Structure 1
Amino acid sequence: MKTETDVVIVGTGAAGLFCALNLPRDTRIIMLTKSDLESSDSFLAQGGISVLRDEEDYDSFFEDTMRAGHYENRRESVDLMIRGSRDVIDKLVGYGVEFEHRTKDGLTETAGKEVAVGGGTGIAGKEAAVGGRTEAAGDASAGGGTGIAGTRASSEEFLYTREGAHSKPRILYHKDITGKEITSRLLEQVKRLENVTLYEYTAMTDIIVENGVCVGILAEHTKSGRQGETDSEAAALREHPEEDGILQGEDACREREKAEAPGEDAGREQMEIRAGYTIFATGGIGGQYAHSTNFPHLTGDAIEISKKHGIRLEHLDYVQFHPTTLYSKKPGRRFLISESVRGEGAVLYNKKKERFVDELLPRDVVAAAIREQMEKDGTDFVYLSMEHIEKETILRHFPNIYQRCLEEGYDVLKECIPVVPAQHYFMGGVWVDSDSRTSMPHLFAVGETSCNGVHGANRLASNSLLESLVFAKRAAMKIREKMEGRRRDDSDGI
């Protein structure tokens, strides 16, 4: 199959989706994903998304990010991420993303749908302690101010949690499934766009380069790899097999139950997609590790293709191991125990049930301390205790973690759980500038597969979703600028 489009986005995680949403509605966009639409690491993010609470928070946010990254961060990128955070949150709330908040009567709920996003540029207000390591923001005002405000702001306060290496609570969250909440809302919005065509089970195999310029990609589409269909959909596919695995527009994008990926004997179709602009949004490299929190199909495809074509790469050895994943002898993806659990008061114990590290140090420091303690103890794990967290907080803030641990035979309300570090995040990747442009013309990279230097040698907790969205938008804005410039040039020549 050969086709042409304005923009092709390889990946359907938060970065790729946000790119599509920030491009003009008359731009023809093709998006493809190696698995099903929801199997991106963006869906797995638990803890939350960092945000600049107010101008007084800027210096500490900047310093926290730099310190966690061992001061190897690109300062310009850190500044752009922090300065762009409030606009990103405004947009997310506008898309229906619901963040936790506290009402005047003391109840904690989710907020977002009724919050106005027209006039503000972020979240602002006085910080008020509400107990533990979680804080709420109040006194947000509507209109032309600098805060996310709305009809309910006078009676409700957004809650912030704290994670390792953050000097204060500045993380917005939705229970312990923030990534799923954000990415599913973005996916809902993209599915409504008639200018976007989505291909599932479609793997990029190479890029097309002409005269040193990227002009599209080559891909392989697994024709029977579509998510489970209804009987009527299956009948339609038998009549129109060329549409198998292709989703376009709202009518064809009804929610479906996930089906397992197809077997090796499934039919495959080679694709040539020519595009004015190509965007890598292929995620991390966890599939190359035996123990990772990532989906196994995330194997660094964009990295290998970039090597082949001499596209600049950076810091390929900067790999982050998350300190706390649930220990298991079973093969497969490791279940993350969010850092926000420690932010709310959980502690780490050795085999004698003694604390051995400051739980809120940067991730690489805590992970190293855990491995050192495991060697001392002669064990395959250390213990995480939530005994210092109120039961109500655990059930409200961490329902997913609580339930998963129960399924594995652990009741976090009554006992410690075994945890161990596992590969989690890739700080290196395809080198990009502040507008997410790679070293090859017309080729962009966003999200975990890119390296804009914002994380340095070690990522600060809950900066991943923020960085992905801020620089995805910058990529879209740069492409928009280039396309509008070409249109002006074309009209001038008539």
Structure 2
Amino acid sequence: MENKYVDVLVVGSGVAGLYCALNLRQDLDVMVVSKDKIDCTNTSLAQGGISVARGLDDVPFFTEDTLKAGKYENDIHAVNVLTNESIENVDYLVSLGLDVDKDEDGNWDYTKEGAHCINRIIHTQDNTGENVEKTLVKNAFRRKNIRILEDTFLVDIIERNDKCIGAILLKNKEQINVFAKFVVLACGGIGGLYKNSTSQRILRGDGLAVALRHKIELKDINYIQIHPTAFYDESGDERRFLISESVRGEGGKLYNINGERFVDELQPRDVVSEAIFNEMKKTNTPYVYLDISFLNEEYLKNRFSTIYNKCLEKGTDITKEPIKVSPAQHYFMGGIKVDLSSETSMKNLYAVGETACTGIHGANRLASNSLLEGLVFSKRAAQNINESIDEFNLTKVDIDEIYTSREEIEEENGLIVVNAIKDKGGVIDD
């Protein structure tokens, strides 16, 4: 058993975790831990892009689109923060090295996705998340004050007197007790608990399980988003390959097996998913068709290079034929309840990204708001920590518990989370 001491411990290496670390003061000792390799995150899988207000005039419309998609169950204050701070955060991300696609005039090439009233999605082809991850990883490794531990599993937080003072980790079956002035949970969603999901399989609600054990407040854990268009893979790969919303944003059409259109493709995700489920039931077929083949072949290969190559590997040429698709679990709108600074109900503990519930998504997430939420609210967490950390000293205690089996803890975590979601009326396809 080893003890380590840092100013801030960040659990998770996706957009929220790394962006938080990069916005912390550079005189702070920061540790970032990743459950697998540093880029094994849902951020790396995000294809479509990042929502961003087209200017101050667009903020009210962006806000309304987010509220409408969320069935007006969103936290209006959080949505206002998201839309008003979108431009400054995307600008900073670009300044860190993200190469955004440009139009012929050299301006950002905005695209449109479901339930957005205008084109306001920036992107890097169809692998925006992968490029965001690479950009943040590169910058994190350059920072002398940031230490990164890969293949490191969060066992539990360390709590004393209703305050988080660190976390217990496992790396190569060796226990590491990390004492920190602040802990930030950025450990992702729950997709790994589903048989049918677009998420990384390692994401099994570890942060949520920790919160449940410590009676930390949760919010909206029954709100689980189903993406309408995952590649229908008859070989049964573990993780479903996402066919990005941007395919429909660029004009892709949905047809049933009889070649009939049945839905407005740019409706919110829950509406399109329900329409597909109904069509599959009507036609007694486990998929529908998504067709984009009518667009220029070279344009498709460039704009959707990831989708083109992955589908080709699976036997479908998207430039010549439609793609078989069906809905799959995609995103967790609920999570650990946080305020506008990403603080949880436990002192000195923050939660950001898909682990957290800021309230911006309401009952249904607006397309491409996930990466943006990770940016905006992780920066707010970092700013709050920067302003208050000098008031705190490290608390050190003896840890008696000894852990060696990640597998047993993961299984227990999964059961805790699944039961909690079911108790709230959420659906798990186990």
> Fold match, TM over 0.5?
yes
- Please tell me whether residue 383 in structure 1 is matched to residue 289 in structure 2: yes
* Pick aligned residue for 1:297 from 179, 202, 209: 202
1:239 — aligned with what? none
Q: How does 1:99-248 map to 2 (within 5 A)?
A: 99-104=100-105, 156-222=106-172
User: What CA deviation, in whole Å up to 9, does each residue of 1:296-346 have, x standing for no partner?
Assistant: 110000101100110000111100010001001323101000000000000
* Pick aligned residue for 1:288 from 193, 209, 225: 193
Q: How does 1:455-466 map to 2 (within 5 A)?
A: 455-466=361-372
Give the SS at the match of 1:439. coil
Q: How does 1:13-92 map to 2 (within 5 A)?
A: 13-92=14-93
Q: Which residue identity does 2:8 align to in structure 1?
A: V
User: What CA deviation, in whole Å up to 9, does each residue of 1:415-473 have, x standing for no partner?
Assistant: 11100100000000000000000000000000000001011111000000001100000
Work out the CA distance in 1 between the residues paired with 2:292 and 2:319: 7
Bigger Rg, structure 1 or 2: 1
Work out the CA distance in 1 between the residues paired with 2:191 and 2:364: 16
Work out the CA distance in 2 between the residues paired with 1:277 and 1:81: 24
Give the SS at the match of 2:109. strand
1:286–1:299 Cα contact (<8 Å) kept: yes
Give the SS at the match of 1:370. helix
1:450 — aligned with what? 356
| C-alpha displacement of 1:485 | 5.0
Work out the CA distance in 2 between the residues paired with 1:158 and 1:446: 27
Work out the CA distance in 2 between the residues paired with 1:208 and 1:484: 20
Flag the structure with more relative contact order, 1 or 2, with Cα contacts below 8 A and sequence separation at least 6: 2
List 4+ stretches of structure 1 deviating above 2 A. 387-393, 484-487
Work out the CA distance in 2 between the residues paired with 1:39 and 1:303: 19
2:220 — aligned with what? 315
- Please tell me whether residue 421 in structure 1 is matched to residue 332 in structure 2: no
1:33–1:201 Cα contact (<8 Å) kept: yes
* Pick aligned residue for 1:441 from 322, 347, 352: 347
- Structure 1 unmatched runs, 5+: 105-155, 223-267, 488-494
1:345–1:388 Cα contact (<8 Å) kept: no
Work out the CA distance in 1 between the residues paired with 2:51 and 2:390: 32
Q: Which residue identity does 1:215 align to in structure 2?
A: I
Q: Which residue identity does 1:312 align to in structure 2?
A: E
- Please tell me whether residue 345 in structure 1 is matched to residue 284 in structure 2: no
2:181–2:392 Cα contact (<8 Å) kept: no
- Please tell me whether residue 271 in structure 1 is matched to residue 176 in structure 2: yes
User: What CA deviation, in whole Å up to 9, does each residue of 1:90-149 have, x standing for no partner?
Assistant: 111111101111234xxxxxxxxxxxxxxxxxxxxxxxxxxxxxxxxxxxxxxxxxxxxx
| C-alpha displacement of 1:291 | 0.8
- Please tell me whether residue 373 in structure 1 is matched to residue 374 in structure 2: no
User: What CA deviation, in whole Å up to 9, does each residue of 1:38-93 have, x standing for no partner?
Assistant: 10000110000011111221221111100100000000100101111111111111
Work out the CA distance in 1 between the residues paired with 2:313 and 2:138: 30
Work out the CA distance in 1 between the residues paired with 2:190 and 2:253: 29
| C-alpha displacement of 1:395 | 1.5
Work out the CA distance in 2 between the residues paired with 1:377 and 1:457: 29
1:145 — aligned with what? none
| C-alpha displacement of 1:396 | 1.7
1:111 — aligned with what? none
1:344–1:389 Cα contact (<8 Å) kept: no
| C-alpha displacement of 1:484 | 4.2
Q: Which residue identity does 1:436 align to in structure 2?
A: S
Work out the CA distance in 1 between the residues paired with 2:76 and 2:63: 9
* Pick aligned residue for 2:386 from 464, 480, 483: 480
Work out the CA distance in 1 between the residues paired with 2:162 and 2:63: 37
| C-alpha displacement of 1:486 | 5.4
2:294–2:319 Cα contact (<8 Å) kept: no
- Provide the identity percentage: 46
| C-alpha displacement of 1:381 | 0.4
1:259 — aligned with what? none
Give the SS at the match of 1:325. strand
Give the SS at the match of 1:103. coil
| C-alpha displacement of 1:393 | 2.5
Work out the CA distance in 2 between the residues paired with 1:441 and 1:467: 22
